[in-house]
Structure 1
Amino acid sequence: MLETGQIRTLEVAREAAFGYFLSDGETDVLLHKNETEGVLREGQEIEVFLYMDNQERLAATMHQPLLQMGQFDWLKVTDVNKRMGVFLDMGIQKELLLSKDDLPFNWAQWPQVGDRVFVGLKHDRRGRLLAKLGLDVELAEHEKQGTRDLINTEVSGNVYRVIEPGAFLFTDENYIAFIHREDMNGTIRLGEFVTARVKSIRDDGRINVTHQASKKEAYYDDSESILQILQDRGGAMPFTDKTSPETIRERFGISKAAFKRAMGKLLKERKVYQEEGWTYLTSMKQ
Protein backbone atom coordinates (compact mmCIF):
# COMPACT_ATOMS: atom_id res chain seq x y z
CA MET A 1 0.00 0.00 0.00
CA LEU A 2 1.30 3.43 -0.95
CA GLU A 3 1.47 5.99 1.86
CA THR A 4 2.56 9.59 1.92
CA GLY A 5 5.86 10.51 3.55
CA GLN A 6 7.79 7.66 1.87
CA ILE A 7 10.27 7.39 -0.99
CA ARG A 8 9.16 4.64 -3.35
CA THR A 9 10.27 3.27 -6.71
CA LEU A 10 7.39 3.49 -9.20
CA GLU A 11 6.99 2.93 -12.92
CA VAL A 12 6.00 5.65 -15.38
CA ALA A 13 2.65 4.29 -16.63
CA ARG A 14 1.64 7.03 -19.05
CA GLU A 15 2.07 10.68 -19.88
CA ALA A 16 -0.67 13.31 -19.42
CA ALA A 17 -0.99 16.97 -20.41
CA PHE A 18 -0.07 18.11 -16.88
CA GLY A 19 2.52 15.48 -16.05
CA TYR A 20 2.74 11.71 -15.69
CA PHE A 21 0.90 8.91 -13.97
CA LEU A 22 3.08 6.51 -12.01
CA SER A 23 2.06 3.08 -10.76
CA ASP A 24 3.10 0.33 -8.39
CA GLY A 25 0.92 -2.09 -10.31
CA GLU A 26 -2.18 -1.32 -8.25
CA THR A 27 -2.38 2.41 -7.58
CA ASP A 28 -1.91 5.38 -9.91
CA VAL A 29 0.05 8.35 -8.59
CA LEU A 30 0.18 11.79 -10.20
CA LEU A 31 3.59 13.32 -10.94
CA HIS A 32 3.14 16.98 -11.85
CA LYS A 33 5.43 18.29 -14.58
CA ASN A 34 6.95 20.84 -12.21
CA GLU A 35 7.92 17.97 -9.89
CA THR A 36 9.95 16.09 -12.52
CA GLU A 37 13.68 16.10 -13.22
CA GLY A 38 14.54 15.54 -16.86
CA VAL A 39 12.49 13.81 -19.57
CA LEU A 40 10.69 10.60 -18.59
CA ARG A 41 9.52 7.71 -20.75
CA GLU A 42 6.83 5.09 -20.26
CA GLY A 43 8.07 1.98 -18.48
CA GLN A 44 10.90 3.85 -16.75
CA GLU A 45 11.32 3.22 -13.01
CA ILE A 46 11.99 6.29 -10.87
CA GLU A 47 12.32 7.11 -7.18
CA VAL A 48 9.76 9.60 -5.89
CA PHE A 49 8.53 11.03 -2.61
CA LEU A 50 4.79 10.66 -1.99
CA TYR A 51 2.48 13.35 -0.60
CA MET A 52 -1.05 14.74 -1.01
CA ASP A 53 -1.34 17.69 -3.41
CA ASN A 54 -3.58 20.71 -2.84
CA GLN A 55 -6.55 18.81 -4.31
CA GLU A 56 -5.90 15.93 -1.88
CA ARG A 57 -4.74 13.56 -4.61
CA LEU A 58 -1.93 11.10 -4.00
CA ALA A 59 0.98 12.80 -5.76
CA ALA A 60 4.71 12.37 -6.22
CA THR A 61 7.81 14.50 -6.59
CA MET A 62 11.29 13.67 -7.82
CA HIS A 63 12.72 16.45 -5.65
CA GLN A 64 14.48 15.27 -2.51
CA PRO A 65 12.53 16.13 0.68
CA LEU A 66 14.31 17.33 3.81
CA LEU A 67 12.25 14.88 5.86
CA GLN A 68 10.74 11.41 5.47
CA MET A 69 8.42 9.41 7.70
CA GLY A 70 10.31 8.26 10.80
CA GLN A 71 12.90 11.05 10.58
CA PHE A 72 13.24 14.30 12.56
CA ASP A 73 15.00 17.49 11.52
CA TRP A 74 15.02 21.27 11.88
CA LEU A 75 12.76 22.92 9.28
CA LYS A 76 12.49 26.64 8.56
CA VAL A 77 9.19 28.48 9.07
CA THR A 78 7.95 30.04 5.82
CA ASP A 79 4.54 31.37 6.86
CA VAL A 80 2.31 31.83 9.93
CA ASN A 81 -1.47 31.44 9.78
CA LYS A 82 -3.24 31.94 13.10
CA ARG A 83 -6.26 29.94 11.91
CA MET A 84 -4.20 26.92 10.88
CA GLY A 85 -0.70 27.00 12.35
CA VAL A 86 2.74 27.52 10.81
CA PHE A 87 4.05 26.27 7.46
CA LEU A 88 7.50 24.73 7.09
CA ASP A 89 9.86 24.31 4.14
CA MET A 90 10.50 20.59 3.64
CA GLY A 91 12.40 20.89 0.35
CA ILE A 92 9.48 20.30 -2.05
CA GLN A 93 6.84 22.66 -3.47
CA LYS A 94 4.23 21.47 -0.99
CA GLU A 95 4.84 23.11 2.39
CA LEU A 96 4.37 21.17 5.62
CA LEU A 97 1.81 22.34 8.19
CA LEU A 98 2.50 22.31 11.91
CA SER A 99 -1.05 22.57 13.22
CA LYS A 100 -2.11 25.20 15.74
CA ASP A 101 -3.24 22.25 17.90
CA ASP A 102 0.44 21.38 18.38
CA LEU A 103 1.53 24.96 19.07
CA PRO A 104 1.55 26.90 22.36
CA PHE A 105 -1.76 28.45 23.43
CA ASN A 106 -0.05 31.86 23.69
CA TRP A 107 0.44 33.33 20.20
CA ALA A 108 3.51 35.21 21.42
CA GLN A 109 5.20 31.81 21.81
CA TRP A 110 4.44 30.72 18.22
CA PRO A 111 7.37 30.50 15.78
CA GLN A 112 7.96 33.40 13.40
CA VAL A 113 9.04 33.31 9.75
CA GLY A 114 12.71 32.31 9.63
CA ASP A 115 12.67 30.37 12.91
CA ARG A 116 13.64 26.68 12.82
CA VAL A 117 11.41 24.03 14.37
CA PHE A 118 12.41 20.46 15.25
CA VAL A 119 9.77 18.18 13.72
CA GLY A 120 8.94 14.79 12.27
CA LEU A 121 6.06 13.64 10.05
CA LYS A 122 2.64 12.21 10.87
CA HIS A 123 -0.61 11.53 8.98
CA ASP A 124 -3.99 13.07 9.56
CA ARG A 125 -7.20 11.05 9.08
CA ARG A 126 -7.14 11.67 5.33
CA GLY A 127 -3.57 10.54 4.92
CA ARG A 128 -2.20 14.05 4.49
CA LEU A 129 1.22 14.86 5.92
CA LEU A 130 1.47 17.03 9.01
CA ALA A 131 4.42 18.01 11.17
CA LYS A 132 4.77 16.76 14.73
CA LEU A 133 7.09 18.30 17.28
CA GLY A 134 10.21 16.36 18.17
CA LEU A 135 11.16 15.94 21.82
CA ASP A 136 14.13 14.92 23.97
CA VAL A 137 13.98 11.29 22.88
CA GLU A 138 14.61 12.23 19.23
CA LEU A 139 17.54 14.46 20.22
CA ALA A 140 19.12 11.99 22.65
CA GLU A 141 21.35 10.27 20.07
CA HIS A 142 23.01 13.62 19.26
CA GLU A 143 23.10 14.99 22.83
CA LYS A 144 26.36 15.80 24.65
CA GLN A 145 26.75 15.89 28.42
CA GLY A 146 27.58 19.24 29.99
CA THR A 147 30.60 19.69 32.29
CA ARG A 148 31.33 22.30 34.97
CA ASP A 149 33.78 24.20 32.77
CA LEU A 150 30.75 25.40 30.77
CA ILE A 151 29.44 27.49 33.68
CA ASN A 152 29.29 31.22 32.81
CA THR A 153 30.03 30.56 29.14
CA GLU A 154 27.53 31.43 26.42
CA VAL A 155 25.66 28.86 24.34
CA SER A 156 23.21 29.33 21.48
CA GLY A 157 20.51 27.17 19.95
CA ASN A 158 16.91 26.86 18.81
CA VAL A 159 13.98 26.27 21.15
CA TYR A 160 12.36 22.89 20.52
CA ARG A 161 9.82 22.84 23.35
CA VAL A 162 7.92 25.47 25.36
CA ILE A 163 6.21 24.59 28.66
CA GLU A 164 4.68 26.61 31.49
CA PRO A 165 7.86 26.84 33.64
CA GLY A 166 10.17 27.73 30.72
CA ALA A 167 11.67 26.47 27.46
CA PHE A 168 14.09 23.81 26.19
CA LEU A 169 16.67 24.48 23.49
CA PHE A 170 19.17 22.34 21.64
CA THR A 171 22.43 24.22 21.36
CA ASP A 172 24.85 24.42 18.46
CA GLU A 173 27.22 22.40 20.64
CA ASN A 174 24.57 19.63 21.04
CA TYR A 175 23.63 20.34 24.65
CA ILE A 176 20.03 20.16 25.84
CA ALA A 177 19.43 23.33 27.84
CA PHE A 178 16.54 24.62 29.94
CA ILE A 179 15.79 28.27 30.61
CA HIS A 180 13.30 29.06 33.37
CA ARG A 181 10.80 31.85 32.66
CA GLU A 182 12.31 33.85 35.55
CA ASP A 183 15.65 33.75 33.74
CA MET A 184 14.21 35.04 30.43
CA ASN A 185 14.35 38.57 29.08
CA GLY A 186 10.75 38.61 27.86
CA THR A 187 8.84 35.84 26.09
CA ILE A 188 10.73 33.07 24.29
CA ARG A 189 8.98 31.43 21.33
CA LEU A 190 9.15 27.94 19.86
CA GLY A 191 11.83 27.76 17.15
CA GLU A 192 13.56 30.96 18.27
CA PHE A 193 17.37 31.14 18.15
CA VAL A 194 18.46 31.94 21.70
CA THR A 195 21.81 32.88 23.22
CA ALA A 196 22.16 32.51 26.99
CA ARG A 197 24.69 32.03 29.79
CA VAL A 198 25.19 28.61 31.37
CA LYS A 199 23.98 28.90 34.95
CA SER A 200 24.43 25.34 36.23
CA ILE A 201 24.92 21.71 35.22
CA ARG A 202 22.29 19.15 36.17
CA ASP A 203 23.12 15.68 37.49
CA ASP A 204 22.05 14.15 34.16
CA GLY A 205 24.49 16.36 32.22
CA ARG A 206 21.91 18.74 30.87
CA ILE A 207 22.41 22.45 31.42
CA ASN A 208 20.39 25.30 32.89
CA VAL A 209 20.84 28.66 31.21
CA THR A 210 19.84 32.25 31.90
CA HIS A 211 19.62 35.64 30.21
CA GLN A 212 20.75 37.30 33.46
CA ALA A 213 24.32 38.49 33.74
CA SER A 214 26.70 36.77 36.12
CA LYS A 215 27.16 38.46 39.51
CA LYS A 216 30.55 39.81 38.45
CA GLU A 217 29.10 41.31 35.26
CA ALA A 218 26.05 42.62 37.15
CA TYR A 219 28.26 44.35 39.76
CA TYR A 220 30.19 46.06 36.97
CA ASP A 221 27.07 47.13 35.04
CA ASP A 222 25.29 48.43 38.16
CA SER A 223 28.34 50.32 39.41
CA GLU A 224 28.86 51.90 35.98
CA SER A 225 25.21 52.99 35.97
CA ILE A 226 25.62 54.60 39.41
CA LEU A 227 28.76 56.43 38.24
CA GLN A 228 26.93 57.71 35.16
CA ILE A 229 24.03 59.01 37.27
CA LEU A 230 26.49 60.76 39.57
CA GLN A 231 28.23 62.38 36.63
CA ASP A 232 24.91 63.50 35.15
CA ARG A 233 24.03 65.13 38.50
CA GLY A 234 27.29 67.03 38.75
CA GLY A 235 29.03 64.55 41.05
CA ALA A 236 26.54 64.28 43.92
CA MET A 237 23.25 62.51 44.70
CA PRO A 238 21.06 62.16 47.81
CA PHE A 239 21.15 58.35 47.77
CA THR A 240 23.34 55.94 49.77
CA ASP A 241 23.22 52.31 50.84
CA LYS A 242 20.86 53.51 53.61
CA THR A 243 18.22 54.68 51.12
CA SER A 244 14.92 52.76 51.14
CA PRO A 245 14.46 49.79 48.76
CA GLU A 246 11.44 51.47 47.15
CA THR A 247 13.41 54.61 46.29
CA ILE A 248 16.33 52.54 44.97
CA ARG A 249 14.02 50.53 42.72
CA GLU A 250 12.30 53.68 41.44
CA ARG A 251 15.49 55.69 40.82
CA PHE A 252 17.92 52.97 39.67
CA GLY A 253 15.75 50.08 38.50
CA ILE A 254 17.60 47.52 40.64
CA SER A 255 17.08 45.88 44.03
CA LYS A 256 18.43 47.32 47.28
CA ALA A 257 20.79 44.32 47.55
CA ALA A 258 22.19 44.91 44.04
CA PHE A 259 22.58 48.64 44.80
CA LYS A 260 24.50 47.92 48.00
CA ARG A 261 26.82 45.48 46.20
CA ALA A 262 27.55 47.98 43.43
CA MET A 263 27.97 50.86 45.90
CA GLY A 264 30.30 48.72 48.02
CA LYS A 265 32.44 48.09 44.94
CA LEU A 266 32.68 51.82 44.21
CA LEU A 267 33.49 52.67 47.84
CA LYS A 268 36.17 49.98 47.98
CA GLU A 269 37.72 51.32 44.77
CA ARG A 270 37.54 54.85 46.26
CA LYS A 271 35.60 56.14 43.27
CA VAL A 272 32.91 57.56 45.56
CA TYR A 273 32.49 58.59 49.18
CA GLN A 274 29.46 59.24 51.38
CA GLU A 275 28.64 62.03 53.82
CA GLU A 276 25.42 62.92 55.64
CA GLY A 277 23.12 60.85 53.43
CA TRP A 278 24.72 61.88 50.12
CA THR A 279 27.07 60.09 47.74
CA TYR A 280 29.81 62.04 45.95
CA LEU A 281 32.32 61.36 43.20
CA THR A 282 35.80 61.23 44.73
CA SER A 283 37.15 63.02 41.66
CA MET A 284 35.00 66.05 42.57
CA LYS A 285 36.38 66.27 46.10
CA GLN A 286 38.54 69.30 46.74
Structure 2
Amino acid sequence: MKAMGNLKENTIEELTVVRLSDMGAFLEAGTGNTSDDILLHNNQQTHPVEVGQKVTVFLYHDPHHRLTASMHLPQIPLDGIGYVCVLLTTRFGAFVDVGTERGIFLPFSNMIGRVEKDQYIWVKLYKDKSNRLAVTMHVEDEMRRIALPCLEYKVGDSITGTIYNMTPEGAFLISKDRHILFLHKSELRDDIKMGSEIKGRIVFIRKDGHVNISLRPQKESAMGTDAEALLKKLTENGGELFITDSSDPQEIKDMLGISKSAFKRAVGNLLKKKLIDLGEKSIRLVK
Protein backbone atom coordinates (compact mmCIF):
# COMPACT_ATOMS: atom_id res chain seq x y z
CA MET A 1 0.00 0.00 0.00
CA LYS A 2 1.42 3.40 -0.95
CA ALA A 3 1.23 6.58 1.07
CA MET A 4 -2.41 7.54 1.54
CA GLY A 5 -3.74 11.07 1.31
CA ASN A 6 -1.10 13.35 2.80
CA LEU A 7 0.43 10.58 4.90
CA LYS A 8 3.92 9.38 4.04
CA GLU A 9 6.54 7.07 5.46
CA ASN A 10 9.27 8.45 7.74
CA THR A 11 7.00 11.15 9.12
CA ILE A 12 5.56 11.90 12.55
CA GLU A 13 1.81 12.38 12.63
CA GLU A 14 -1.00 12.80 15.15
CA LEU A 15 -3.79 10.38 14.19
CA THR A 16 -7.07 9.26 15.75
CA VAL A 17 -7.79 5.71 16.92
CA VAL A 18 -10.94 4.57 15.09
CA ARG A 19 -11.16 0.91 16.15
CA LEU A 20 -9.39 -1.82 18.10
CA SER A 21 -8.61 -5.43 17.19
CA ASP A 22 -6.66 -8.35 18.60
CA MET A 23 -3.61 -7.16 16.60
CA GLY A 24 -3.74 -3.59 17.87
CA ALA A 25 -5.40 -0.29 17.04
CA PHE A 26 -6.33 1.15 13.66
CA LEU A 27 -5.72 4.84 12.99
CA GLU A 28 -7.72 7.01 10.62
CA ALA A 29 -5.83 7.63 7.40
CA GLY A 30 -7.98 10.56 6.34
CA THR A 31 -9.10 9.06 3.02
CA GLY A 32 -12.68 8.29 4.04
CA ASN A 33 -12.06 4.60 3.29
CA THR A 34 -11.76 2.35 6.35
CA SER A 35 -9.64 -0.13 4.38
CA ASP A 36 -6.91 2.52 4.38
CA ASP A 37 -6.80 2.75 8.18
CA ILE A 38 -3.27 2.35 9.51
CA LEU A 39 -2.36 -0.41 11.94
CA LEU A 40 -0.71 0.47 15.23
CA HIS A 41 0.34 -3.00 16.34
CA ASN A 42 0.21 -3.92 20.02
CA ASN A 43 4.00 -4.33 19.95
CA GLN A 44 4.39 -0.75 18.70
CA GLN A 45 2.35 0.82 21.49
CA THR A 46 4.15 2.39 24.42
CA HIS A 47 0.88 2.34 26.38
CA PRO A 48 -2.67 1.09 25.68
CA VAL A 49 -4.82 3.34 23.50
CA GLU A 50 -8.58 3.85 23.23
CA VAL A 51 -11.04 4.60 20.41
CA GLY A 52 -11.28 8.34 19.83
CA GLN A 53 -7.86 9.03 21.30
CA LYS A 54 -5.33 11.03 19.30
CA VAL A 55 -1.84 9.49 19.30
CA THR A 56 1.48 10.74 17.98
CA VAL A 57 3.12 8.08 15.83
CA PHE A 58 6.02 7.46 13.48
CA LEU A 59 4.89 6.09 10.10
CA TYR A 60 6.92 3.54 8.15
CA HIS A 61 6.46 0.78 5.60
CA ASP A 62 6.29 -2.79 6.86
CA PRO A 63 7.89 -5.70 4.90
CA HIS A 64 4.77 -5.84 2.71
CA HIS A 65 5.14 -2.11 1.94
CA ARG A 66 2.03 -1.23 3.93
CA LEU A 67 2.02 2.05 5.81
CA THR A 68 2.29 1.16 9.50
CA ALA A 69 2.44 3.17 12.72
CA SER A 70 4.63 3.03 15.82
CA MET A 71 4.58 5.03 19.04
CA HIS A 72 8.36 4.64 19.28
CA LEU A 73 9.41 8.15 18.27
CA PRO A 74 12.89 9.54 17.49
CA GLN A 75 15.12 9.92 20.54
CA ILE A 76 16.61 13.01 18.90
CA PRO A 77 14.38 16.10 18.88
CA LEU A 78 13.59 17.63 15.52
CA ASP A 79 16.49 19.94 14.52
CA GLY A 80 18.47 18.46 17.40
CA ILE A 81 21.68 16.43 17.29
CA GLY A 82 22.61 12.98 18.51
CA TYR A 83 25.37 10.36 18.47
CA VAL A 84 23.90 7.41 16.55
CA CYS A 85 24.78 4.07 14.99
CA VAL A 86 24.83 3.42 11.24
CA LEU A 87 22.45 0.50 10.60
CA LEU A 88 23.30 -0.14 6.94
CA THR A 89 24.65 1.50 3.81
CA THR A 90 23.17 1.54 0.31
CA ARG A 91 24.17 2.92 -3.08
CA PHE A 92 22.11 6.01 -2.23
CA GLY A 93 23.44 6.67 1.28
CA ALA A 94 22.94 5.09 4.69
CA PHE A 95 20.33 4.53 7.40
CA VAL A 96 20.95 5.41 11.04
CA ASP A 97 19.26 4.41 14.29
CA VAL A 98 17.49 7.33 15.99
CA GLY A 99 15.14 5.15 18.07
CA THR A 100 12.33 4.70 15.53
CA GLU A 101 11.10 1.36 14.21
CA ARG A 102 13.00 1.93 10.96
CA GLY A 103 16.29 3.69 10.34
CA ILE A 104 16.34 7.28 9.11
CA PHE A 105 17.97 8.09 5.77
CA LEU A 106 21.36 9.80 5.53
CA PRO A 107 21.97 10.78 1.87
CA PHE A 108 25.47 10.95 0.43
CA SER A 109 25.06 14.70 0.03
CA ASN A 110 24.75 15.03 3.81
CA MET A 111 27.76 12.88 4.65
CA ILE A 112 31.24 14.02 5.64
CA GLY A 113 33.39 11.34 4.04
CA ARG A 114 31.84 7.89 3.88
CA VAL A 115 30.36 5.81 6.67
CA GLU A 116 30.09 2.08 7.30
CA LYS A 117 27.77 -0.28 9.17
CA ASP A 118 28.05 -0.12 12.99
CA GLN A 119 29.98 3.17 12.87
CA TYR A 120 28.82 5.79 15.39
CA ILE A 121 28.47 9.34 14.07
CA TRP A 122 27.02 12.71 15.05
CA VAL A 123 23.91 13.73 13.10
CA LYS A 124 21.17 16.35 13.07
CA LEU A 125 17.54 15.25 12.59
CA TYR A 126 15.47 17.42 10.25
CA LYS A 127 12.55 17.35 7.81
CA ASP A 128 13.38 17.32 4.11
CA LYS A 129 11.42 19.13 1.39
CA SER A 130 8.82 16.35 1.27
CA ASN A 131 8.30 16.57 5.07
CA ARG A 132 10.05 13.23 5.67
CA LEU A 133 12.59 12.80 8.45
CA ALA A 134 16.23 12.73 7.38
CA VAL A 135 19.63 13.31 8.98
CA THR A 136 22.79 15.19 8.11
CA MET A 137 26.35 14.93 9.42
CA HIS A 138 26.85 18.69 9.10
CA VAL A 139 26.42 19.61 12.76
CA GLU A 140 29.22 22.16 13.27
CA ASP A 141 26.82 25.09 13.78
CA GLU A 142 24.84 23.16 16.39
CA MET A 143 28.04 22.14 18.18
CA ARG A 144 29.21 25.74 18.39
CA ARG A 145 25.85 26.76 19.83
CA ILE A 146 25.92 24.17 22.63
CA ALA A 147 29.68 24.41 23.34
CA LEU A 148 30.91 25.55 26.74
CA PRO A 149 34.31 27.14 27.47
CA CYS A 150 36.92 24.82 28.94
CA LEU A 151 37.41 26.22 32.44
CA GLU A 152 37.96 23.18 34.64
CA TYR A 153 40.93 21.79 32.68
CA LYS A 154 44.51 23.00 32.30
CA VAL A 155 47.30 22.41 29.80
CA GLY A 156 48.62 18.86 30.20
CA ASP A 157 45.30 17.36 31.34
CA SER A 158 43.76 14.42 29.46
CA ILE A 159 40.38 14.91 27.81
CA THR A 160 38.15 12.66 25.67
CA GLY A 161 35.87 13.62 22.80
CA THR A 162 34.12 12.23 19.72
CA ILE A 163 34.76 13.57 16.22
CA TYR A 164 31.91 15.56 14.67
CA ASN A 165 33.77 17.26 11.79
CA MET A 166 36.91 16.68 9.73
CA THR A 167 38.53 19.40 7.62
CA PRO A 168 41.79 19.75 5.68
CA GLU A 169 43.27 21.29 8.85
CA GLY A 170 42.29 18.48 11.22
CA ALA A 171 39.48 17.00 13.30
CA PHE A 172 37.00 18.73 15.61
CA LEU A 173 35.62 16.86 18.61
CA ILE A 174 33.04 17.45 21.33
CA SER A 175 33.66 16.25 24.88
CA LYS A 176 31.03 14.97 27.31
CA ASP A 177 31.27 18.35 29.05
CA ARG A 178 30.51 20.08 25.71
CA HIS A 179 34.02 21.42 25.15
CA ILE A 180 35.21 21.72 21.54
CA LEU A 181 38.57 20.07 20.89
CA PHE A 182 40.83 20.35 17.86
CA LEU A 183 43.31 17.67 16.69
CA HIS A 184 45.78 18.78 14.02
CA LYS A 185 45.89 16.86 10.73
CA SER A 186 49.50 15.81 11.42
CA GLU A 187 48.26 13.54 14.22
CA LEU A 188 45.40 11.85 12.37
CA ARG A 189 45.80 8.08 11.94
CA ASP A 190 44.16 5.74 9.44
CA ASP A 191 41.87 4.33 12.13
CA ILE A 192 40.54 7.79 13.07
CA LYS A 193 37.25 8.60 11.33
CA MET A 194 34.03 10.52 11.84
CA GLY A 195 32.56 9.66 15.23
CA SER A 196 35.78 8.14 16.61
CA GLU A 197 36.28 8.56 20.35
CA ILE A 198 39.69 10.11 21.01
CA LYS A 199 41.57 10.66 24.26
CA GLY A 200 44.16 13.38 23.98
CA ARG A 201 46.30 15.75 26.02
CA ILE A 202 45.48 19.45 26.16
CA VAL A 203 48.35 21.46 24.69
CA PHE A 204 46.65 24.84 24.43
CA ILE A 205 43.47 26.50 25.73
CA ARG A 206 42.24 29.24 23.42
CA LYS A 207 40.72 32.54 24.48
CA ASP A 208 37.26 31.33 23.36
CA GLY A 209 37.54 28.28 25.63
CA HIS A 210 38.17 25.78 22.84
CA VAL A 211 41.26 23.60 23.21
CA ASN A 212 43.96 22.05 21.04
CA ILE A 213 44.82 18.45 21.88
CA SER A 214 47.65 16.11 20.99
CA LEU A 215 47.93 12.33 20.90
CA ARG A 216 51.66 12.51 21.53
CA PRO A 217 52.88 11.68 25.05
CA GLN A 218 53.91 14.51 27.39
CA LYS A 219 57.55 15.43 27.03
CA GLU A 220 59.66 15.61 30.16
CA SER A 221 60.45 19.28 29.70
CA ALA A 222 57.73 21.90 29.96
CA MET A 223 56.89 24.23 27.10
CA GLY A 224 59.08 26.93 28.56
CA THR A 225 58.31 30.37 29.94
CA ASP A 226 59.16 32.23 26.73
CA ALA A 227 56.93 29.98 24.59
CA GLU A 228 54.06 30.35 27.07
CA ALA A 229 54.51 34.12 27.02
CA LEU A 230 54.45 34.13 23.20
CA LEU A 231 51.24 32.07 23.17
CA LYS A 232 49.65 34.48 25.65
CA LYS A 233 50.64 37.47 23.53
CA LEU A 234 49.26 35.83 20.39
CA THR A 235 45.95 35.12 22.10
CA GLU A 236 45.69 38.70 23.38
CA ASN A 237 46.28 40.01 19.85
CA GLY A 238 43.62 38.00 18.07
CA GLY A 239 45.88 35.09 17.16
CA GLU A 240 48.49 36.96 15.06
CA LEU A 241 51.66 38.99 15.69
CA PHE A 242 53.42 40.88 12.91
CA ILE A 243 56.86 39.74 13.92
CA THR A 244 59.17 36.97 12.68
CA ASP A 245 62.65 35.60 13.33
CA SER A 246 63.97 38.17 10.84
CA SER A 247 62.55 41.08 12.83
CA ASP A 248 64.83 43.61 14.51
CA PRO A 249 66.01 42.43 17.97
CA GLN A 250 64.83 45.67 19.59
CA GLU A 251 61.36 45.26 18.05
CA ILE A 252 61.16 41.76 19.54
CA LYS A 253 62.39 43.07 22.89
CA ASP A 254 59.84 45.89 22.93
CA MET A 255 56.96 43.60 21.98
CA LEU A 256 57.74 40.50 24.04
CA GLY A 257 60.40 41.50 26.53
CA ILE A 258 62.75 38.71 25.42
CA SER A 259 65.90 38.48 23.30
CA LYS A 260 65.82 37.53 19.64
CA SER A 261 67.52 34.19 20.37
CA ALA A 262 64.93 33.40 23.06
CA PHE A 263 62.20 34.37 20.60
CA LYS A 264 63.59 31.97 17.98
CA ARG A 265 63.68 29.13 20.51
CA ALA A 266 60.09 29.85 21.55
CA VAL A 267 58.92 29.94 17.92
CA GLY A 268 60.71 26.64 17.19
CA ASN A 269 59.09 25.07 20.24
CA LEU A 270 55.58 26.14 19.19
CA LEU A 271 56.13 25.12 15.57
CA LYS A 272 57.08 21.60 16.68
CA LYS A 273 53.90 21.40 18.73
CA LYS A 274 51.82 22.53 15.69
CA LEU A 275 50.45 25.48 17.70
CA ILE A 276 51.52 28.25 15.32
CA ASP A 277 52.13 28.92 11.63
CA LEU A 278 55.04 31.04 10.50
CA GLY A 279 54.39 33.40 7.59
CA GLU A 280 56.60 35.87 5.76
CA LYS A 281 55.53 38.81 7.93
CA SER A 282 53.77 37.32 10.93
CA ILE A 283 53.20 34.34 13.17
CA ARG A 284 49.65 32.99 13.70
CA LEU A 285 47.92 30.59 16.04
CA VAL A 286 46.75 27.38 14.36
CA LYS A 287 42.96 27.45 14.30
**TM-score, length of structure 2 as denominator length:** 0.61
- Provide the C-alpha distance between the structure 2 equivalents of 1:162 and 1:29, rounded to a whole number of angstroms: 46
In structure 2, give the amino acid aligned to 1:138.
Answer: E
In structure 2, give the amino acid aligned to 1:156.
Answer: T
- Provide the C-alpha distance between the structure 2 equivalents of 1:85 and 1:162, rounded to a whole number of angstroms: 19
Q: CA deviation at 1:156?
A: 0.8
SS of 1:144's equivalent in the other structure is coil
1:93 alignment counterpart: 101
How do residues 1-286 of structure 1 correspond to structure 2 at under 5 angstroms? 8-15=13-20, 19-23=24-28, 30-33=38-41, 34-43=43-52, 45-53=53-61, 59-77=68-86, 79-81=87-89, 83-105=91-113, 107=114, 110=115, 113=118, 115-123=120-128, 125=130, 127-147=131-151, 149-216=153-220
In structure 2, give the amino acid aligned to 1:121.
Answer: Y
Conservation of the 8 A alpha-carbon contact between 1:30 and 1:60 = yes
Distance 1:41 1:148, change over 3 A: closer
Q: CA deviation at 1:190?
A: 0.9
Conservation of the 8 A alpha-carbon contact between 2:123 and 2:137 = yes
- Provide the C-alpha distance between the structure 1 equivalents of 2:161 and 2:153, rounded to a whole number of angstroms: 19
- Provide the C-alpha distance between the structure 2 equivalents of 1:205 and 1:15, rounded to a whole number of angstroms: 56
SS of 1:216's equivalent in the other structure is coil
- Provide the C-alpha distance between the structure 1 equivalents of 2:107 and 2:188, rounded to a whole number of angstroms: 26
**Number of residue pairs aligned between Structure 1 and Structure 2:** 213
- Provide the C-alpha distance between the structure 2 equivalents of 1:56 and 1:162, rounded to a whole number of angstroms: 38
Conservation of the 8 A alpha-carbon contact between 1:50 and 1:58 = no
In structure 2, give the amino acid aligned to 1:145.
Answer: P
Q: CA deviation at 1:66?
A: 0.4
Q: CA deviation at 1:175?
A: 0.5
Q: CA deviation at 1:111?
A: 5.4
CA RMSD, Structure 1 to Structure 2 (Å): 3.5
Conservation of the 8 A alpha-carbon contact between 2:58 and 2:72 = no
- Provide the C-alpha distance between the structure 1 equivalents of 2:40 and 2:152, rounded to a whole number of angstroms: 55
- Provide the C-alpha distance between the structure 2 equivalents of 1:211 and 1:112, rounded to a whole number of angstroms: 27
Q: Which has the larger radius of gyration?
A: 1
SS of 1:14's equivalent in the other structure is strand
1:234 alignment counterpart: none
Greater fraction of residues in helix: 1
- Provide the C-alpha distance between the structure 2 equivalents of 1:38 and 1:148, rounded to a whole number of angstroms: 43
Distance 1:61 1:148, change over 3 A: closer
SS of 2:142's equivalent in the other structure is helix
Q: CA deviation at 1:152?
A: 1.6
- Provide the C-alpha distance between the structure 2 equivalents of 1:90 and 1:174, rounded to a whole number of angstroms: 21
Q: CA deviation at 1:16?
A: 6.7
Identical aligned residues as a percent: 23
Distance 1:117 1:135, change over 3 A: closer
Distance 1:39 1:123, change over 3 A: same
